[in-house]
Amino acid sequence: MILDIAKVTANGQVTLPKRVRERYGIREGSRLLFEQGPEGELRVRVIDEREATVEAWRSLQAIVADDAARQGIGEEELLQAIEEGRQEAYEAWRTRKR
């Protein structure tokens, strides 16, 4: 079902039509996830902060895996680096100011 059509600006920005924003509860600061569907189509989903964090982590994992493969980094070295990064991230999260 087509809800509306929007135009991309010279800066690559799109203004979401008001009725689309209202229908999906999109407000300033809302997070949108852009993903490719099974037939190559662009899909957009509104996601919460928690899902945005998880998706950012997944995206980072894919980038790291590709870079490691290109640079010939072995599995053991990569797993060690991932574990060290995980521990650092956990410590930063655990000791953050609330």
* Half-sphere CA count of 89, side-chain side, radius 13 A: 8
Domain count, the chain: 2
pLDDT of residue 44: 94
Q: What confidence tens digit (pLDDT) does each residue in 44-60 have?
A: 999 888 888 888 888 88
pLDDT of residue 98: 66
CA distances from 11 to 1, 7, 8, 91 (A): 28, 11, 8, 38
Q: 54 with 79, same domain?
A: yes
Do residues 34 and 43 make contact, with C-beta atoms less than 8 angstroms apart? Answer: yes
Q: Could you tell me the residue range of the domain that residue 21 belongs to?
A: 1-47
CA distances from 97 to 64, 69, 92 (A): 29, 37, 10
pLDDT of residue 77: 92
Q: 59 with 37, same domain?
A: no
**Which CATH number do you get for residue 30?**
2.10.260.10
pLDDT of residue 56: 84
Q: 69 with 35, same domain?
A: no
How far, in Å, CA of 1 to CA of 63, rounded? 34
Q: 54 with 77, same domain?
A: yes
Q: What confidence tens digit (pLDDT) does each residue in 14-71 have?
A: 999 999 999 999 999 999 989 999 999 999 999 888 888 888 888 888 888 889 999 9
Q: 27 with 58, same domain?
A: no
Q: 3 with 38, same domain?
A: yes
SS3 letters for 29-51?
CCEEEEEECCCCCEEEEEECHHH
Q: What confidence tens digit (pLDDT) does each residue in 73-93 have?
A: 998 998 898 899 889 989 998
Q: 35 with 64, same domain?
A: no
Q: 37 with 59, same domain?
A: no
Q: 35 with 5, same domain?
A: yes
